[in-house]
Structures are given as C-alpha cells and as structure tokens.
Amino acid sequence: MAVRRGGEAADLADAGVEALATFAQLLAGGLLTGLVFALVAVGLTLIYGVMDVVNFAHGEFLMLAMYATLGLALLGIGPLVGLPLVALALLLFGIVVYRVFVRRLLAGPPEATVFGTFGLLVLMQGLAQALLTSDYQSAPNPPLQGTLRLGPVALSQATLAEGFGALVLTAALFAFVEYTETGRAMRAVAEDRIAATLMGIDVQRVNGLAFGIGSACVGAAGALLMLSYPVYPTAGVPFALTAFVVVALGGFGSIQGALLGAVLVGLLEVFGGFYLSPELKMVPVYLAYLVVVLLRPQGLLGRR
C-alpha cells in the first residue's frame, strides 16, 4: 500500500516535471515565434508611422525578398551572406515603388492608398505565379539547421537567428529614427507634414526613404525566413496577416510597439494552441486585438 502510494506520488511528481517542461518549451517557442513576427512587422509600422500608408502588399514584398534570397542561394550565396544584398535590393525596390506609384496615390483620396497597395498585392502574386510557377522552393543547404538544447527546452538555430535578427533590426531602426538627422526629419513629417515642408524638409524625399527603409527591413526578414521556410507566390500571406494584427496591437507607427505586439501575439498563439486547441489558436490573438482596439484604439504604445 505504502509502496503504491509512493509510486503514485512519484508519478505525480513526474507528471508535474513534465508539465513544467512543456510550459517552458511553449514559453520559449512563443517568445521566439513572436520575434519572428516582429521581424516582418517593423518595416510595416515604419512606413505607416511616417506617411499613414498601410502597405497591403507588405507580404508580397516579403515574398519577393524570399525569391531574391533563393536566387542568390542558387548562385552559391547563402541566406546570411545574401542578407545585406537582399536588403539593399529591397531598399531600391521600395524607393522605386514609392516614386512611381505610392507618391501618386498620396495625392488622391485616403482610400487610394488602400486600393492601390492592394492592387499591387494582386499584381505581384500574379506575376510570381506566372513567372516563377506556384511550386514550393527552399534554399539549398541553408546553414543553422541544428537544434540548441537548454535543459528541457529545444530551440531551432534558424528560429533563434531569426529572433536575434528581429532584435537587432528593431534596435537599429529605433536608433535611426531617434538619433539621426534623417530619422528626426521622418518624425517631423510624421507629426505634421505641412510644418515639416515649411521647415525646409523635402517630404517626398523623406517619404521615399521611409518606404525604402521599411522595404529593406522586410528584405532582411525575407532572407532570414529562408532559413526555415519555403518560398511560393503566396508565401508572404500568413506573415503579413499576423503583421497587420501586430502593428494594430502594438500601436500604429510605433517601432517598440511592434516588438511588444509581436511577442504578445506569439505567446497568445502558442499558449492558446496548446491549452485551448490548435484549431482555435488565433482566437486569443484576435480577442486581445479586439480588447485593445476597444479600450485603447491607438494600440498599446501608439500615440494619438
């Protein structure tokens, strides 16, 4: 009897240890997932912050960056080495898109940017489908495919690199906007476009640069994501959907807000998926979004 009870207690203790290990794994996985979401969201929030444009084609910019990374990888330049090249290419692409397209939309009614960037989404997806086929393609022999084990917690090296990239990118972007002359100009444009113009700031130049830098961020994100995801014409869609929620949750235009929102979404999704049901894992995310929108419409760290 005593022996059996002892066995039960041991079983119970085992179960407790196991539940704790699972919790630790979910916590680490959720945090890291959140950082991956932040990686995609920072570029979106920068563009919105400066010029009040929600780029609906953000996911397609990501897809383009992933294809660019794949192209370099096929030439023998791996995703990590290729990252600066892809970021630079997307910077230029962003500036061009702003110059020939978004600039004209800004002159029209506010809805013009919504429909215009949505049209860009359709165009880019269609072109990718026609030119690159809808096959799934992964970078050949990507680095960092191992696992890092810390006690009961196992983390993918690729995801760790993506999370680390998100932190670096967010910090760099924050420093740029806060402490550089151009960053100050961007904040001035964001605050009051007309006043900025009167102060002698070239608004078109600042806007173009912001669109370019936002695109460069998503370029870096695309290169890092190729460590662990395949690319296909709609590869950006799941990330972009989350990025929109992240930006709205964290506060439109707030860089730290995007980081906070993303980590929150990652944790809610992973814990919701495990303790509720994987089918319902997005429910807590959208619920949190609704609560924030109702109680604090500008988002957690957004300014009015």
Residues at the site binding another protein, with contacts judged by CB under 8 A? 18, 22, 25-26, 29-30, 33, 36, 135-138, 140, 147, 154-156, 228-230, 232, 235, 237-239, 241-242, 266, 269-274, 277-279, 281-282
Nearer residue to another protein within complex by CB, 137 or 204: 137
Q: Which residues contact 283 (CB under 8 A, 6 or more apart)?
A: 272, 276
For the bound state, the minimum distance from the C-beta of residue 243 to another protein, rounded and expressed in Å, comes to 10
For the bound state, the minimum distance from the C-beta of residue 278 to another protein, rounded and expressed in Å, comes to 4
Q: How far is CA 165 from the centre of its chain?
A: 11
For the bound state, the minimum distance from the C-beta of residue 3 to another protein, rounded and expressed in Å, comes to 25
Helix (H, G, I), strand (E, B) or coil at 148: strand
CB-count burial class (<10 Å; 0-12, 13-18, 19+) for 42 = buried
- Dihedral pair phi/psi, residue 189, rounded to 5°: -65, -40
Nearer residue to another protein within complex by CB, 55 or 159: 159
Nearer residue to another protein within complex by CB, 247 or 282: 282
For the bound state, the minimum distance from the C-beta of residue 7 to another protein, rounded and expressed in Å, comes to 19
Q: Please, what's the b/e burial string for 47-78 (b: 16 or more CB within 10 A of its CB; e: otherwise)?
A: bbbbbebbbbbbbbbbbbbbbbbbebbeeeeb
For the bound state, the minimum distance from the C-beta of residue 218 to another protein, rounded and expressed in Å, comes to 15
Nearer residue to another protein within complex by CB, 6 or 238: 238
Nearer residue to another protein within complex by CB, 158 or 173: 158
Nearer residue to another protein within complex by CB, 10 or 154: 154
- Residue 142 φ/ψ region, left for φ over 0, alpha for ψ in the -120 to 50 degree band, beta for the rest: beta
- Dihedral pair phi/psi, residue 7, rounded to 5°: -60, -45
**CA–CA gap between residue 257 and residue 36 (Å, rounded):** 15
Q: What is the CA radius of gyration of the chain?
A: 21
Q: CB of 228 within 8 A of CB of 156?
A: yes
For the bound state, the minimum distance from the C-beta of residue 84 to another protein, rounded and expressed in Å, comes to 24
CA dihedral 173, 177, 179, 183 (to 10 degrees): 130
For the bound state, the minimum distance from the C-beta of residue 146 to another protein, rounded and expressed in Å, comes to 8
Nearer residue to another protein within complex by CB, 78 or 302: 78
